[in-house]
Chains A and B, each alone.
Chain A
Amino acid sequence: EDQVTQSPEALRLQEGESSSLNCSYTVSGLRGLFWYRQDPGKGPEFLFTLYSAGEEKEKERLKATLTKKESFLHITAPKPEDSATYLCAVQSSSGAGSYQLTFGKGTKLSVIP
C-alpha cells in the first residue's frame, strides 16, 4: 500500500525565514510525486511534478527536490502570502495506485509579517 507522511504538521516562520517541508513516501515503483498548495476552503492548486531521484523544480520562492525515499519543498525568504497548507502526493507505477494520487495530510505553513 502506498503511503505518504509529511512533516512537520504545522510550521510558523517569520517573513524572510527560509525553511523546508518534508514528504516521505513508500510506493511500489514511483510514477510521479506531486506538490500542491491548498488555501482554506479551496481546492488544491498544482505546483510541481517530480519523476526521478535527483530532479528539481523551481517556482518563485519554492523549490522541490526528490530522492528515492523523500521529497523536500524548500521555501526561500517566504512572504505572508505563502501561508497555506502544502500537500504532497504520489502515484505508483503499478496496480490500483497507478490511477490515483495518494496524499499526505499536509503541512500547514504560517508566515508571520
Chain B
Amino acid sequence: SQTIHQWPATLVQPVGSPLSLECTVEGTSNPNLYWYRQAAGRGLQLLFYSVGIGQISSEVPQNLSASRPQDRQFILSSKKLLLSDSGFYLCAWSRGQGTEAFFGQGTRLTVV
C-alpha cells in the first residue's frame, strides 16, 4: 500500500530564518506531487506541483520554492521566512490527472 510521510509535524521559526520541509511517498512510482497551504478560514491553496523529477510548477508567486530531487521526494524551502509564511502546509500525491490526491498529516509552521 502507498504511504506518505511529511515532517516535522510542528515548527516554530524566527523571521528571516531558512525553511526546509520534506515529504516522501512510498509504495508507488512516478507520482504527481503537490504542496498546499491552508490558512484559517481559507481553502487549501496550491503552492507547487511536480509531474516528474526536476519538474516544478509554481501556482502562486511567493517567498517559497520547491524541489524534487528524487522520484518520491518533494521538498519545500525558503531562504528567509516572513511572518506571512505561517500556516498549515500539506504535501499530497496522486497517480495522475483525474485521480484523487492523498495527503500527509501536515506541518504547522509558526513564524515568530
Q: Give the interface size class of chain A.
A: 20 to 34
Q: Are the C-beta atoms of B108 and A41 separated by less than 8 Å?
A: yes
Per the 8 Å Cβ criterion, residues 55-106 of A in contact with B are 87, 89, 91, 93, 96, 98-106
CB-contact partner of B43 in A91, A96, A106, under 8 A: A106
B103:A43 contact, CB within 8 angstroms: yes
| Assembled-state Cα–Cα distance A60/B48 (Å) | 34
Cβ–Cβ contact A100 & B34, under 8 A:
yes
* Contact between chains at B106 and A42 (CB < 8 Å): yes
Asked if A104 meets B49 with Cβ closer than 8 Å, knowing A34-B100, A46-B100, A91-B98, the reply is no
Q: Give Cα A41–Cα B34 distance, bound, in whole angstroms.
A: 19
- B43 x A103 contact (CB < 8 A): yes
Tell me the minimal C-beta distance from B66 to chain A in angstroms. Answer: 14
**How many A-B pairs fall under 8 Å by CB?**
60
Give the shortest distance, in Å, between A105 (CB) and chain B (any CB). 5
Neighbouring A residues of B103 by C-beta, 8 Å:
36, 43-46
Contact B90 A46 (CB under 8 A): no
Known contacts A91-B97, A105-B43, A100 near B102 by CB under 8 Å? no
> B41 an interface residue at 8 Å Cβ cutoff?
yes
Q: How far is the CB of B61 from chain A (nearest CB, A)?
A: 14
Of the listed residues B51, B59, B97, B100, the one surrounded by the most CB atoms of chain A closer than 10 A to its CB is B100
Contact status of A105 and B100, CB under 8 A, knowing A42-B105, A99-B32, A100-B34:
no
Whole-angstrom distance from the CB of A97 to the nearest CB of chain B?
10
Given A42-B105, A43-B104, decide whether A101 and B46 contact each other with a Cβ distance below 8 A: yes
Q: A46-B101, A99-B97 are in contact. Are A87 and B106 (CB under 8 A)?
A: no
Contact A99 B51 (CB under 8 A): yes
A-B contact pairs, 20 of them (CB 8 A): A31-B97, A32-B98, A34-B100, A36-B103, A41-B108, A43-B90, A43-B103, A43-B106, A44-B44, A45-B103, A46-B102, A49-B99, A49-B100, A51-B98, A87-B44, A91-B97, A99-B32, A101-B44, A101-B101, A106-B43
